[in-house]
Amino acid sequence: MRSFSSRAKCLRSFALIAWGLLVCASLDAQGLYDPGHIPVIKITFEDAKWRSKLDSLKNIGKKERLTATVEIDGKKLPGVGVRFKGNSSYNNPRSKGSLKLPLNLKADFTVKGQLFPGGYETIKLSNVFQDPSFLREFLSYEIARKYMPAPHCNFAKVYINGEYVGLYNNTQSIDARFLKDAFGSNGGILFKCDPEWDEVGQTPAGCLEGDKASLMYLGDEPSCYQGWYEPDKSDPQHWQALISLTKLLQQNPQRVDSLLNVDMALWMHAFNAVLVNLDSYSGRLSHNYYLYKTPDGLFTPLVWDLNISFGGFRYDGEKAGALTNEELQQYSIFAHYKNKNPKRPLITNLLSNALWRKIYVGHCHTILTENFINGEYLALAEKVRKLIDSEVKNDPNKLYSYEDFNKNLSSTVNIGTSGSIGLMELMKSRTDFLMKHPIFAGKTPVVNKPLHVLNGSQLQLTASATDVQKLWLFYRESAAAPFKMAEMKDDGRSSDGAAQDGVWGVSLAKGKVLQYYVVGEGEKMAVSSPARASFEFYEVR
């Protein structure tokens, strides 16, 4: 029996050991997204009016590109397509005359089959907008990749036509390469759930009123959803798959696990809640995620655009105004659910299921334990700061001062219309607040690593556990099948049905392979073995 992640483990083992110690066969020593390396990206346009032309393309809402030669750490690629990207991260700095604008580079724009070093088709460079700490995007993706498929992220020094523009976040695109690495297949249905704000107008006739990319059911016609969601292919069947998901989530949420990877949705919600990542599905704008229909036939949500995670965005869609520092520190992990908000069905309707709600609480507890109670996020933040300190200081177009960079790890920095709360200022108080919350009070369920015995064609699985009411086995025979669920039993029970010896078991017919994890359901939360299940699981061959 071996423990596996649903992705190659070396691709997401980028915590503290990544700094000079990690060697993965799938990454070059100085790879494009190596966390300890800062690539140098030089963009050269032949067109002297490149800036005004890119502005024009951006302002008229077209995703057309200009060609440029791009050099990455000395390797030149001709005919690369370049465009500006982003909404507020483009418009706000541009209005102030900043030269540091977010960029999207496409390797095969004119040269068919051309890829950036490491085999990547697209590079997305963000200008660290609204984050004086320079840490939010990097740290958030490092944490997210422990629990769910998520992009790689580091930093890059960017030059345009010989002029140094500054230090950017360099974030992996959610594209065919990402999907292949994460799921072994990129042929499924992909939706970008980030509204095209300029295209969204009045609600079409015959459609219900919605709220951005919230997965509310709006009707049976694709026109009801266009503008809120962007498919990678204009295929009527893709729209029908999305509509079916929203309809089931609205009308029969207890069965939505037949179309949705519920556990990955719970991990996404737990991540957003613990890190107060409100520029997401959970916040006022209900956006910045993708949906991908994976080989198991289920839609899996994917986090995206984390530059103002850690309380960098102060609007949750429930309170009319901005949240205060104290409200960020004490932000409820049951936001939207406790008020039964119909505009956030992916939260409200999933957490209405008692077991799913307990699993969600357990996921929040795992994220807190593995990143914040132990101080790991802070140790990693300090390593990142040492890596980029001189680069931030020498960035000629940084959007915030070097003094703000030094201050924002620990304290709030004024960034104009609002304050960017310090990461330590947020998470120290937040961790203390959450761990004293009644939902985490009392005994935490414990599930020990399960054992198995093969008896002919039957596989007997057992696991010991304490402080649990029930033990559940989630299992499948291949990565192309959804996990099924079976209740594990204890041989001896008292009259009230409680387990006597704390050892639970279940028998299954042995197939060629079995992938599984175990969930211990307690009074208030449920915990998994492995702790990061279903992203990690056990396998028996």
Binning pLDDT at 50, 70 and 90, where does residue 435 land?
Answer: very high
> Which structure tokens are listed for 119?
């085999």
Checking if the pLDDT of 296 tops 70, the result is yes
> Which structure tokens are listed for 346?
């992916």
Checking if the pLDDT of 243 tops 90, the result is yes
- Range name among 174-178, 364-368, 509-513 with the lowest pLDDT average: 509-513
Tell me the percentage of the chain whose pLDDT exceeds 70. Answer: 92
Checking if the pLDDT of 413 tops 90, the result is yes
pLDDT the model gives residue 23:
30
For residue 138, the surrounding DSSP H or E stretch is helix 136-144
Checking if the pLDDT of 496 tops 90, the result is no
What does the alpha-carbon distance between residue 200 and residue 246 come to, in Å, rounded to a whole number? 19
pLDDT the model gives residue 497:
46
Tell me the pLDDT tens digit for each residue of 50-105: 999 999 999 887 679 999 999 999 999 999 999 999 989 999 999 999 999 999 99
DSSP 8-state symbol, 373 = I
Burial of 345 per CB tally in 10 Å (0-12, 13-18, 19+): buried
Tell me the pLDDT tens digit for each residue of 361-391: 999 999 999 999 999 999 999 999 999 999 9
What does the alpha-carbon distance between residue 504 and residue 491 come to, in Å, rounded to a whole number? 7
pLDDT the model gives residue 345:
98
| Region 222-230 average pLDDT | 94
Tell me the percentage of the chain whose pLDDT exceeds 90. Answer: 84
What does the alpha-carbon distance between residue 214 and residue 230 come to, in Å, rounded to a whole number? 13
- Is the pTM higher than 0.75? The answer reads yes
Checking if the pLDDT of 432 tops 70, the result is yes
What does the alpha-carbon distance between residue 377 and residue 372 come to, in Å, rounded to a whole number? 6
Checking if the pLDDT of 290 tops 80, the result is yes
Checking if the pLDDT of 535 tops 50, the result is yes
User: Buried b / exposed e across 180-199, counting CB within 10 Å, b at 16+?
Assistant: ebbbeebebbbbbbbbeeee
pLDDT the model gives residue 3:
52
Checking if the pLDDT of 196 tops 90, the result is no
pLDDT the model gives residue 500:
55
SS3 467: coil
Q: Do residues 515 and 4 touch, judged by C-beta distance below 8 A?
A: yes
What does the alpha-carbon distance between residue 425 and residue 419 come to, in Å, rounded to a whole number? 12
Q: Which residue has the higher pLDDT, 451 or 18?
A: 451
Give the CA dihedral 53, 59, 63, 65, nearest 10 degrees.
Answer: 10
- Range name among 10-24, 121-135, 185-199 with the lowest pLDDT average: 10-24
- Per the document, the length of the chain is 541
Binning pLDDT at 50, 70 and 90, where does residue 456 land?
Answer: confident
Q: Which residue has the higher pLDDT, 3 or 57?
A: 57
For residue 184, the surrounding DSSP H or E stretch is none
| Region 256-270 average pLDDT | 98
DSSP secondary structure string for all residues of 303-318: E---TTTTTT----SS
Checking if the pLDDT of 499 tops 90, the result is no
Q: Using alpha carbons, select from 516, 510, 470 the residue that is nearest to residue 490.
A: 470
pLDDT the model gives residue 59:
86
pLDDT the model gives residue 10:
38
Q: Do residues 443 and 522 touch, judged by C-beta distance below 8 A?
A: yes
Tell me the pLDDT tens digit for each residue of 12-42: 333 333 333 333 323 343 689 999 999 999 9
pLDDT the model gives residue 157:
98
| Region 439-464 average pLDDT | 91
pLDDT the model gives residue 510:
80
Binning pLDDT at 50, 70 and 90, where does residue 509 land?
Answer: confident
SS3 35: coil
Residue that the structure tokens 């409680």 belong to? 498
Could you give phi then psi for residue 314, rounded to 5 degrees? -105, 15
| Averaged confidence pLDDT in the chain | 91
Residue that the structure tokens 């079995």 belong to? 514
SS3 271: helix
pLDDT the model gives residue 502:
84
| Region 119-143 average pLDDT | 97
What does the alpha-carbon distance between residue 511 and residue 500 come to, in Å, rounded to a whole number? 31
pLDDT the model gives residue 479:
87
Q: What is the 3-state secondary structure (H, E, C) of 378-395?
A: HHHHHHHHHHHHHHHHCC
